[in-house]
Chains A and B, each alone.
Chain A
Amino acid sequence: MSRRRTWLLAASLGNLLFLYAPVAVLIVFSFNASRLSATWQGFTLQWYRVLAEDEALLAAVQNSLLVGLASTVIATVLGVCAAVALERCPFRGQRVVEGVLLLPLVIPEVMLGVALMLFFVSIQLPLSLVTVTIGHAAFNVPIVVVIVRARLRKLDPALEEAARDLGASAWQAFRCVTLPLLMPAILGATLLAFTISLDDFIVTFFTAGPGATTLPLKVYSMVKSTVTPEINALSAILVLVSMALVGASLVLQRKPVRA
Chain B
Amino acid sequence: MADVSVDIRNVVKSHGAITAVDHLSLEVRKGEFFSILGPSGSGKTTTLRLLAGFEHPDQGDILIEGRSMRLVPPNHRPVNLVFQNYALFPHLTVFGNISFGLEMRRVPRAELRSRVETVLDMVRLTSKQDRLPAQLSGGEQQRVALARALVNHPSVLLLDEPLGALDQQLRQDMQVELKAIQEQVGITFICVTHHQEEALTMSDRVAIMNHGRLLQVGSPQEIYETPASSFVANFIGVSNTLVGHIRSLNGSCCGVMVPGLPKAQAIVARPPAGAGVGSPVTLLLRPERLHLSREVSLPGFDNALEARISKAIYNGSEMQYLLSLADGISWKARVPNAGGGQKRFLPGEAVFVRWTVDEGVVLPE
Interface residues of A (CB under 8 A from B): 156, 158-159, 161-169, 172, 176-177, 180-181, 257-259
Contact = CB atoms under 8 A, between A and B. Distances in A.
B74 A258 contact: no
Contacts of B101: 166-167
Given A158-B83, A172-B104, A257-B90, A165 B75 contact: yes
Interface in B209-257: none
A176 B79 CA distance: 20
Given A172-B104, A258-B134, A259-B133, A164 B87 contact: no
Contact of A165 (B81, B85, B88, B89): B81
A175 to B, nearest CB: 11
A259 B101 CA distance: 21
B333 interface: no
Contacts of A164: 53-54, 73-75
Contacts of B54: 161, 164
B263 interface: no
A169 B73 CA distance: 9
A258 B90 contact: yes
Given A164-B75, A165-B149, A259-B90, 7 more contacts: A158-B84, A161-B52, A166-B75, A166-B149, A167-B105, A168-B104, A181-B91
B172 to A, nearest CB: 26
A166 B133 CA distance: 17
Contacts of B345: none
Contacts of B88: 162
Interface string B39-81: 0000000000000111000000000000000000111000111
Contact of B89 (A162, A167, A169): A162
Nearest to B148: A166
A165 B80 contact: yes
Interface string B87-123: 1111100000000110011000000000000000000
A180 to B, nearest CB: 5
B81 A159 contact: no
Contacts of B84: 158
Contacts of B35: none
B155 interface: no
Contact of A162 (B53, B79, B83, B152): B83
Most B CB contacts (10 A, CB to CB) among A156, A165, A172 go to A165
Nearest to A181: B91
Contact of B152 (A159, A166, A172, A258): A166
Nearest to B104: A167
Nearest to A161: B54
